A and B are shown apart, each in its own frame.
Chain A
Amino acid sequence: MSYAPSPAALEKIEGTIALYPEKPAALLPVLHIIQGESGFISAAAEAWAAAKLGLRPVRVREVLSFYTMFRRAPAGRTTLQVCRNLSCALAGADDILGLIREKLGIGPGETTSDGAVTLVTAECLGHCDHAPCLQVDGVDHGPVTRETVAALIEELKAHV
């Protein structure tokens, strides 16, 4: 297992590192660049980033696993993020999650067998005034209802 970014990504990474007085400070943007290119961050990519920034791989893993927006396994073509923090939970996020599970046959952290959709839960998408809310590939939807979610899923399925 090894990892190397494309020349374009590498150039971006090096440009990013140069913006900071300390290399380790570039960790988050570097991880974003890697994920942007590969769709996820493998253990080999973590080790690569660690070496690049003069960090221990353990430290990269700490940061990477802290944030829910980083993926450590390849995701489906579409990522569905459902918030389950306080406002959304009170507004019925669990019910929405249940519906998605029913329709797609996957739970949080899982990807449909055809590789179309990955479902993850999020702790607050910053959209509490539109609870319950979710994001489809970074685009906010909310407040959602069982009906709008059902329609959304049909659309996602058709999209494939």
Chain B
Amino acid sequence: MSGLKRVGLTIDGLKVQAAEGTSILKAAEQAGVVIPHFCYHPALEIEGNCRMCVVEIEGLPKLEPSCSALVREGLVVRTSTERVREARKDVLAFLLAEHPLDCPICDKAGECRLQDYYDRHGLTASRMVEPRERREKKLAIGRGLILDRERCVLCTRCVRFLRQMPGTGELGVFERGLRSEVGIFEDAPVDNGYSGNLVDICPVGAITAEDFRFKTRAWFLARKPSVCPHCGRGCAVTVESVSGYPLAKGERRVYRITARENPAVNGFWICDLGRDGRRDIDEGRHARLMKAGVPVAGLSWQTALADVAAAIRTVPGPERSAGIAVVLNGRLTCEELALAKRLFVAGLGLSKVYFADRKPGSADGLLLTAERLPNGRGVLEAGFAPRLPALDEIAAADVLLVFGPYLSEHLAEEALAKAWAGIPSKFLFSAHEGPLDRLADIVFPVAVPAEKSGTYINVDGTRQTFAQAVKPAAGVAAESAILAGLANLLALDAGGGDAR
């Protein structure tokens, strides 16, 4: 940083300092002056094709695109003079000349740059007398993405993203002039693990996701920050949900997960696996407590927790270490892990504390890590040495507490069933349905990470604290509440306020 010279310039009368090599657009943004733009994206190569970002620079005869013009000592820049405003109007008029009047049925409406800018900078009536060009409106370009060529403003963000970030470059701009269009080569579709970002960066509704198309309107969505729990990267995400009114059965709650900017972790992007994590929040969830494999209505987890405490109490102090086994997982937050440590290791003196998580996948060399749990570093930091239990280690227990459904990913179901059959008391705390459900005495429905607050430490040791992004269903508890409740029932130290 120290190597970068800083230069002083004036933007709209404000004295601004910016590092040499910064674009005027960025310098203005840092000073709180927002310059409208389509093609500029902070993470992509500058192309300067949309001309929406033009500004007036004292001493220069023509308007300059601020995304590509760099700051210089003493520049005097004006971003909203009459000339600039006229130019923006013209850019918008040209774009809208060939734009369909799709807003009422367009998924982007409400978060569309063209719509927003027209409202702020355009507001001109159409001067077109000719009929509009008709183009392909629902071209499947791969990975559930749909391209609408009538809506495309040819900013090439999508093309540049694919060439730069995943490096796969499936899209190009074909033809030229009026006939220019974005497309794939023959039947070679967009096919990479970061395709969903195209929907995020397309400034208009030209690239939409089948998973989201026509499902809801952008303005119905509550956007809450969270951290993706699907691998060790812990990308910053926004969970977008509808929770303002009671939902009919089968209706979606989380409509999509989008990338949230975090320069320290994921930049501007997330992978498709993380984006698809919306299903993890809404699908295959336990909504109710289960006893002996059957959901029971009207039984609260607080009441049922007494059974767990009672089972633990049946094991006399000196035998606990061998008689009680606990299986934790790396989806638990640092706070929950600390609580678990205090309760199970310090409080109850257990030695059989194991871990079971999703099986590792393969890393893609970009964001996705081989590790498919979000808090592996948090597990170590809490002082655990995570180890998968062997079948007979579980089978020997009198009381078994399992957090998460992941054991069944590692041990054969039939063998597990046989081992569990011999354990007098076994309890499962799981957000998702799975093969273990029928084996446990009681299944407690627990929250998924998006429904919790807490801290994760990613593979690089970056700590991220997040707040609750969606409310869990009634009767679904976070593990923190369950662990604290258990400590309470057993009259053990839950460590003060951090349990809640």
Contacts and interface: CB of A to CB of B under 8 A. Distances in A.
Nearest to A65: B174
Contact of B172 (A43, A47, A62, A123): A62
Interface in A7-62: 43, 46-47, 56-62
Contacts of A43: 185-186
Contacts of B176: 65-66
A35 B3 CA distance: 53
Contact of B170 (A46, A58, A62): A58
B184 interface: yes
Contact of B175 (A57, A58, A59, A66): A66
Contacts of B173: 62
B137 to A, nearest CB: 20
B169 interface: yes
Interface string B176-189: 11000001111010
Interface in B151-170: 169-170
A86 to B, nearest CB: 13
Contact of B185 (A61, A66, A123): A61
> Which of A43, A62, A66 has the most chain B CB atoms inside 10 A of its CB?
A62
Dominant SS among interface residues on chain A: helix
Nearest to A68: B176
A65 B177 CA distance: 11
A59 B186 contact: no
Nearest to B170: A58
Nearest to A59: B172
Contacts of B174: 61-62, 65-66
Contact of B186 (A57, A62, A66, A123): A57
B182 to A, nearest CB: 10
Contacts, number: 35
Nearest to B168: A56
B114 interface: no
B171 interface: yes
A56 B186 contact: no
Given A43-B186, A46-B185, A61-B185, A56 B175 contact: no
Interface in B169-220: 169-177, 183-186, 188
Interface residues of A, number: 13
Interface string A79-105: 000000000000000000000000000
A43 B183 CA distance: 14
A123 B188 CA distance: 30
B154 to A, nearest CB: 13
Contacts of B183: 61
Residue of A46, A47, A65 with most chain B CB atoms under a 10 A cut-off: A65
A61 B185 CA distance: 7
A67 B171 CA distance: 19
A61 B183 CA distance: 10
Contacts of B185: 43, 46-47, 56-58, 60-61
B198 to A, nearest CB: 15
A46 B183 CA distance: 15
Contacts of A66: 174-176
Contacts of A59: 169, 172
Contacts of A47: 185-186
A138 B184 CA distance: 31
A58 B177 CA distance: 18
Contacts of B184: 58
With most chain A CB atoms within 10 A of its CB, the pick from B171, B186, B188 is: B186
B239 to A, nearest CB: 34
Which of A47, A56, A60, A123: most chain B Cβ within 10 A? A56
A44 to B, nearest CB: 9
A60 B188 CA distance: 14
Contacts of A62: 172-174
A61 B171 CA distance: 10
A47 B184 CA distance: 13
Which of A46, A60, A61 neighbours the largest number of chain B CB atoms within 10 Å of its CB? Answer: A61
A42 to B, nearest CB: 10
Given A43-B186, A59-B172, A66-B175, 15 more contacts: A46-B185, A47-B186, A56-B169, A56-B172, A57-B185, A58-B171, A58-B172, A58-B184, A58-B188, A59-B169, A60-B185, A61-B174, A61-B183, A62-B172, A66-B176
Interface of A: 43, 46-47, 56-62, 65-66, 123
28 contacts: A43-B185, A43-B186, A47-B186, A56-B169, A56-B185, A57-B185, A57-B186, A57-B188, A58-B169, A58-B171, A58-B172, A58-B184, A58-B185, A59-B172, A60-B185, A61-B172, A61-B174, A61-B183, A61-B185, A62-B172, A62-B173, A62-B174, A65-B174, A65-B175, A66-B174, A66-B175, A66-B176, A123-B177
Question: Across chains A and B, which 10 residue pairs bring their CB atoms closest together, nearest first?
Answer: A58-B172, A57-B185, A65-B174, A62-B172, A58-B185, A66-B176, A65-B175, A56-B169, A43-B186, A61-B185
Interface of B: 169-177, 183-186, 188
